[in-house]
């Protein structure tokens, strides 16, 4: 209720009595309850950081009261033990109370020690109950409709540290996770050599147990990522103060790759981490994905026909692309041939810039596109400012380059 109702004189005593129980109009009691819940969540956060299970369990509703809700308590607390935390806090963003029960929306903010300079935010939905002693406790703590599942909700986290990486896995051995750390440790200097040092130069890799669990972390359908070996998450429009992105592996697709493919995938995703502060709505996918592939393949000695087999097949059939790939061409729609051609076309565009204008100009072009902040005119402006060409001339040159490389 937005405000108090005007009580008629005879109701004053009744209103006063009800205020002691649920509040006259609900405002005072709700405010008090919200403050009590905030204090309880502060204690819960401190318990997580201090690894104090007893204190954490004291914020949980008794099992009987939480019947039918998602399991939390000891299991989830145990799962969190492997996560090296520097910060953990809750910020209530919504609160509704009905008697001794309440629901709340909260922003869970946490930082991984040594990797996150700013908090990662997870949107949570809380179910709360008030005990006979008047204390509010958590009956359920789940992803909200705006949020996604977190790795600790899938099982016990095992952390493996590399020289430049932190790998967090569920359901995997330390030996398996060390292999990912080795690949990530090789990816970081390779990306730095191509892009420069203006990024964190370390990465966090999440390895869920299966494709289904990967999709849960992304809040997406598993079918959309079947065959995608890894993705990089992160808030759009990130800044240099933003935390490092998370590279999330699809273990099902990753398992079928050879050593070369696995290294390329980790280097590609690490490139997205490095370039995120300069990647925004202005950046077309042919540039962001093409650049990441260019860094991934850089120095491998592989030729264009070896790496762009789908696009080469199209060229051989007389289907030379008329234009650079559109963003829609990169959708995980199930058309693997179209998707492969989009990636290969973007890669060849970036490779052409590096070949004709130089690697330094390629990096400057990428940054210049991002500086526009919005899509309209971004590529055209950067082409003129950095490469001294027009969109029409660039597209024609790219088509000729594709024909020469793959024809």
Look up the CATH number of the domain holding residue 169. Answer: 3.30.2010.30
Domain count, the chain: 3
pLDDT of the residue at 2: 40
Last residue of a domain, one of 93, 123, 147: 147
For the cut 90, the answer to whether the pLDDT of residue 285 exceeds it is yes
Spatial CA neighbour of 264 closest among 290, 228, 292? 292
Query: Residues 244, 273: contact at Cβ < 8 Å?
Result: yes
Assign residue 131 the CATH number of its domain: 3.10.450.50
Return mean pLDDT, the chain. Answer: 88
pLDDT of the residue at 27: 56
Query: Residues 104, 91: contact at Cβ < 8 Å?
Result: no
Spatial CA neighbour of 321 closest among 348, 302, 281? 348
Both 154 and 140 in one domain: the answer is no
Among the ranges given (61-65, 183-187, 202-206, 286-290), the one the predictor scored with the smallest mean pLDDT: 61-65
Q: For residue 214, tell me if it sits in a domain.
A: yes
Under the banding of pLDDT at 50, 70 and 90, the label for residue 206 is very high
Q: What's the CA gap between 269 and 248, in Å, rounded? A: 9
Both 331 and 352 in one domain: the answer is yes
Average pLDDT for 289-298: 98
Both 344 and 302 in one domain: the answer is yes
Both 254 and 153 in one domain: the answer is yes
Both 297 and 404 in one domain: the answer is yes
Both 95 and 157 in one domain: the answer is no
Under the banding of pLDDT at 50, 70 and 90, the label for residue 17 is very low
Residue 224 half-sphere exposure toward CB, CA atoms < 13 A: 12
What's the start-to-end Cα distance of the chain, in Å? 71
pLDDT of the residue at 63: 62
Give the model confidence (pLDDT) of 113-168 as tens digits: 999 888 889 999 999 999 988 999 999 999 999 899 999 999 999 999 999 999 99
Under the banding of pLDDT at 50, 70 and 90, the label for residue 193 is very high
Under the banding of pLDDT at 50, 70 and 90, the label for residue 7 is very low
Give the model confidence (pLDDT) of 36-60 as tens digits: 999 999 999 999 999 999 999 999 9
pLDDT of the residue at 29: 57
Average pLDDT for 214-219: 92
pLDDT of the residue at 20: 32
Last residue of a domain, one of 90, 118, 147: 147
Q: For residue 8, tell me if it sits in a domain.
A: no
Both 249 and 300 in one domain: the answer is no
Q: Is 6 exposed, middle or buried (0-12, 13-18, 19+ CB in 10 A)?
A: exposed
Spatial CA neighbour of 230 closest among 265, 276, 189? 265
The alpha helices in 276-390, defined as continuous H runs, are 285-297, 304-307, 309-316, 336-356, 359-371, 378-382
Give the model confidence (pLDDT) of 255-275 as tens digits: 999 999 999 999 999 999 999
Residue 223 DSSP label: G
For the cut 80, the answer to whether the pLDDT of residue 332 exceeds it is no
pLDDT of the residue at 26: 47
Q: Is 116 exposed, middle or buried (0-12, 13-18, 19+ CB in 10 A)?
A: buried
The answer for residues whose C-beta is within 8 angstroms of residue 155's C-beta and 6 or more apart is: 79, 170, 171, 209
Average pLDDT for 301-318: 96
The alpha helices in 196-284, defined as continuous H runs, are 211-218, 251-254, 259-275
Both 62 and 32 in one domain: the answer is yes
pLDDT of the residue at 8: 32
Cα 16–chain centre separation: 50
Under the banding of pLDDT at 50, 70 and 90, the label for residue 374 is very high
For the cut 90, the answer to whether the pLDDT of residue 331 exceeds it is no
State how far the alpha carbon of 223 is from the alpha carbons of 85, 248, 330, in Å.
32, 16, 15
Among the ranges given (183-197, 218-232, 386-400), the one the predictor scored with the smallest mean pLDDT: 218-232
Q: Which residues is 358 bridged to in the sheet?
A: none
Query: Residues 159, 166: contact at Cβ < 8 Å?
Result: yes
Q: For residue 84, tell me if it sits in a domain.
A: yes
Residue 71 DSSP label: P
Last residue of a domain, one of 147, 178, 193: 147
Both 351 and 397 in one domain: the answer is yes
Percent of the chain with pLDDT over 70: 86
Average pLDDT for 361-378: 97
The 10 Å Cβ neighbour count of residue 328 is 10
Both 203 and 138 in one domain: the answer is no
pLDDT of the residue at 28: 56
Q: For residue 1, tell me if it sits in a domain.
A: no
Which position has the higher pLDDT, 374 or 19?
A: 374
For the cut 70, the answer to whether the pLDDT of residue 298 exceeds it is yes
Among the ranges given (70-74, 150-154, 189-193, 234-238), the one the predictor scored with the smallest mean pLDDT: 234-238
Both 143 and 204 in one domain: the answer is no
Q: Checking phi first, is residue 167 left (phi over 0); if not, alpha (psi -120 to 50) or beta?
A: beta
For the cut 60, the answer to whether the pLDDT of residue 18 exceeds it is no
Q: For residue 378, tell me if it sits in a domain.
A: yes
pLDDT of the residue at 4: 35
Give the model confidence (pLDDT) of 62-87 as tens digits: 864 455 444 456 688 899 999 999 99
Among the ranges given (8-12, 148-152, 204-208), the one the predictor scored with the smallest mean pLDDT: 8-12
Q: What's the CA gap between 321 and 323, in Å, rounded? A: 6
Average pLDDT for 85-110: 96
Q: For residue 50, tell me if it sits in a domain.
A: yes
Under the banding of pLDDT at 50, 70 and 90, the label for residue 24 is very low
Q: Can you give the residue range of the structural domain that contains 110?
A: 20-147
Sign, CA torsion 298/299/303/307: negative
Q: Which residues is 111 bridged to in the sheet?
A: 87
Q: What's the CA gap between 105 and 126, in Å, rounded? A: 6
Q: For residue 4, tell me if it sits in a domain.
A: no
Q: What's the CA gap between 103 and 96, in Å, rounded? A: 5
Q: For residue 102, tell me if it sits in a domain.
A: yes
pLDDT of the residue at 31: 77
Both 180 and 245 in one domain: the answer is yes
């Amino acid at each position: 209720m937005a405000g108090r109702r005007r009580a008629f004189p005879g109701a004053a005593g009744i209103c006063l009595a009800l205020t002691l129980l649920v509040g006259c109009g609900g405002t005072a009691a709700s405010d008090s309850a919200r403050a009590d819940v905030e204090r309880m969540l502060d204690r819960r956060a401190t318990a997580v950081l201090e690894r104090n299970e007893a204190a954490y369990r004291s914020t949980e509703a008794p099992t009987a009261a939480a019947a039918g809700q998602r399991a939390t308590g000891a299991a989830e607390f145990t799962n969190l033990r492997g996560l090296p935390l520097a910060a953990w806090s809750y910020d209530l963003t919504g609160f509704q109370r009905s008697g001794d029960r309440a629901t709340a929306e909260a922003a869970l903010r946490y930082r991984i020690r040594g990797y996150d300079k700013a908090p990662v935010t997870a949107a949570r939905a809380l179910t709360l109950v008030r005990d006979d002693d008047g204390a509010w406790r958590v009956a359920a703590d789940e992803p909200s409709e705006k949020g996604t599942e977190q790795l600790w909700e899938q099982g016990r986290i095992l952390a493996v540290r590399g020289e430049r990486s932190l790998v967090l896995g569920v359901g995997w051995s330390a030996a398996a996770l060390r292999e990912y750390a080795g690949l990530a440790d090789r990816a970081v200097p390779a990306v730095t050599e191509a892009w420069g040092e203006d990024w964190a130069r370390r990465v966090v890799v999440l390895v869920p147990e299966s494709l289904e669990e990967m999709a849960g972390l992304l809040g997406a359908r598993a079918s959309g990522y079947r065959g995608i070996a890894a993705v990089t998450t992160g808030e759009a429009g990130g800044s240099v103060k933003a935390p490092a992105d998370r590279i999330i592996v699809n273990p099902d697709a990753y398992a079928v790759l050879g050593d070369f493919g696995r290294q390329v995938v980790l280097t590609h995703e690490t490139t997205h981490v490095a370039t995120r502060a300069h990647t925004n709505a202005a950046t077309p996918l042919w540039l962001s994905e093409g650049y990441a592939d260019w860094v991934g393949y850089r120095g491998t000695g592989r030729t264009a026909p070896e790496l762009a087999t789908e696009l080469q097949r199209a060229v051989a059939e007389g289907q030379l692309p008329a234009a650079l790939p559109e963003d829609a061409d990169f959708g995980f729609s199930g058309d693997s041939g179209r998707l492969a051609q989009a990636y290969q076309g973007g890669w060849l565009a970036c490779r052409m810039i590096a070949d004709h204008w130089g690697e330094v100009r390629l990096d400057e072009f990428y940054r210049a596109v991002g500086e526009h902040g919005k899509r309209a005119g971004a590529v055209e402006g950067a082409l003129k400012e950095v490469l001294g060409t027009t969109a029409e001339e660039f597209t024609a040159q790219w088509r000729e380059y594709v024909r020469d490389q793959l024809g």
